[in-house]
């Protein structure tokens, strides 16, 4: 049986996603979300936009690995910018 290699970077990645979900839950309890329409072609809530931005970040990273030999942290910065854009104006 193969086990996942929990390196510190892997643990930090999943820890950040866990903290985002906890933060979104607290934010929802304090200030309930109102569905709105931004530049995305559908009406979304905060949780929808977080999910879309995480999917987009995964595709950005996969594309980065497939099409360039540059350092992955540059792709991570692009993914972070994508997250901010989708969460703010999506």
Q: What is the pLDDT of residue 7?
A: 86
Q: CA 10, 47, 59, 57 torsion: positive or negative? A: negative
Per-residue pLDDT tens digits of the chain, which is 90 residues long = 667 778 888 888 889 989 999 999 999 999 998 899 989 899 999 999 999 999 999 999 999 999 999 998 999 999 999 999 999 998
Q: In which domain, by residue range, is 6 found? A: 1-32
What tokens were used for 9?
């970077």
Q: What is the pLDDT of residue 86?
A: 94
Judge if 90 and 69 occupy the same domain.
yes
Judge if 83 and 61 occupy the same domain.
yes
CA distance 10 to 17: 11
For the chain, the domain total comes to: 2
Q: What is the pLDDT of residue 1?
A: 64
Judge if 18 and 46 occupy the same domain.
no
The answer to whether 90 and 52 are in contact (CB under 8 A) is yes
Judge if 27 and 40 occupy the same domain.
no
Judge if 77 and 47 occupy the same domain.
yes
């Amino acid at each position: 049986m193969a086990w996942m290699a929990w390196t510190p970077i892997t643990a930090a990645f999943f820890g950040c996603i866990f903290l985002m979900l906890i933060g979104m839950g607290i934010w929802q309890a304090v200030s309930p979300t109102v569905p709105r329409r931004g530049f995305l072609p559908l009406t979304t809530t905060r949780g929808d936009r977080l999910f879309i931005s995480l999917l987009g970040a995964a595709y950005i990273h996969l594309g980065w690995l497939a099409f360039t030999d540059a350092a992955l942290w540059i792709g991570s910065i692009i993914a972070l910018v994508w997250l901010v854009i989708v969460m703010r104006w999506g």
